[in-house]
């Protein structure tokens, strides 16, 4: 049989094993608590099957906006396409 190799003295070796096991348990517990505290899905409703027609000019950006004509014909009405206001 192969001889067992001891890297650290028995007292220190035991403390290292306990420390590594404690770190592992804390990491797993923290991951479970973090995952449990997250919201699963955002509040949203999908309008599948309800096509609509929009007229205007799209402005690209982090939150795209559609500039659509108001009753007077000027491009004043701003509508969010996606993002916080949608």
Question: Is residue 4 in some structural domain?
Answer: no
Same domain, 53 and 85: yes
Question: Is residue 3 in some structural domain?
Answer: no
Q: Give the span between the Cα atoms of 83 and 75, in whole angstroms.
A: 21
Q: Which parts of the chain fold into alpha helices (H)?
A: 10-37
Range of 30's domain?
9-38
Question: Do the beta carbons of residue 64 and residue 58 sit within 8 Å?
Answer: yes
Same domain, 57 and 83: yes
Q: Give the span between the Cα atoms of 68 and 52, in whole angstroms.
A: 14
Global pTM reads 0.42
Band of residue 27 on the pLDDT scale cut at 50, 70, 90? very high
Question: Is residue 25 in some structural domain?
Answer: yes
Q: How many CA atoms lie within 13 A of 52 on its CB side?
A: 5
Same domain, 86 and 64: yes
In this predicted model, which residue has the larger pLDDT, 38 or 1? 38
Same domain, 54 and 30: no
Total domains in the chain come to 2
State which of 5-14, 28-37, 43-52, 69-78 shows the largest mean pLDDT. 28-37
Q: What is the mean pLDDT of residues 35-51?
A: 75
pLDDT at position 55 over 80: no
**Helix %, strand %, coil % for the chain, to 5?**
35, 15, 50
């Amino acid at each position: 049989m192969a001889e067992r190799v001891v890297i650290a003295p028995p007292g220190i070796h035991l403390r290292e094993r306990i420390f590594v096991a404690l770190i592992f348990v804390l990491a797993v517990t923290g991951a479970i608590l973090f995952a449990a505290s997250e919201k699963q899905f955002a509040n949203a409703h999908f309008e599948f099957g309800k096509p609509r027609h929009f007229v205007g000019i799209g402005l690209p950006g982090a939150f795209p906006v559609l500039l659509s004509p108001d009753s007077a014909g000027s491009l004043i009405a701003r509508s969010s396409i996606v993002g916080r206001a949608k």
